[in-house]
Amino acid sequence: MLLHMSNSAREAQSTPLHSVSVAGAVVREDGRLLAIRRADNGTWELPGGVLELAEAPEEGVIREVFEETGIHVEVDELTGVYKNTSRGVVALVFRCKPSGGFERTSDESTAVEWLMPDQVAERMSEVFAVRLLDALDGMGPHVRSHDGLRLVQR
Q: What is the pTM of this model?
A: 0.87
Q: What local confidence, expressed as pLDDT, does residue 13 receive? A: 55
Any idea where the domains of the chain sit in the sequence? 17-152
The torsion angle over the Cα atoms of residues 70, 28, 116 and 90, rounded to 10 degrees, is 70
- For residue 6, is pLDDT > 90? no
Contact between residue 81 and residue 94 where contact means Cβ atoms under 8 Å apart: no
Give, in words, the CATH class of 17-152: alpha beta
Residue 1's identity, in one-letter code, is M
Q: What local confidence, expressed as pLDDT, does residue 17 receive? A: 83
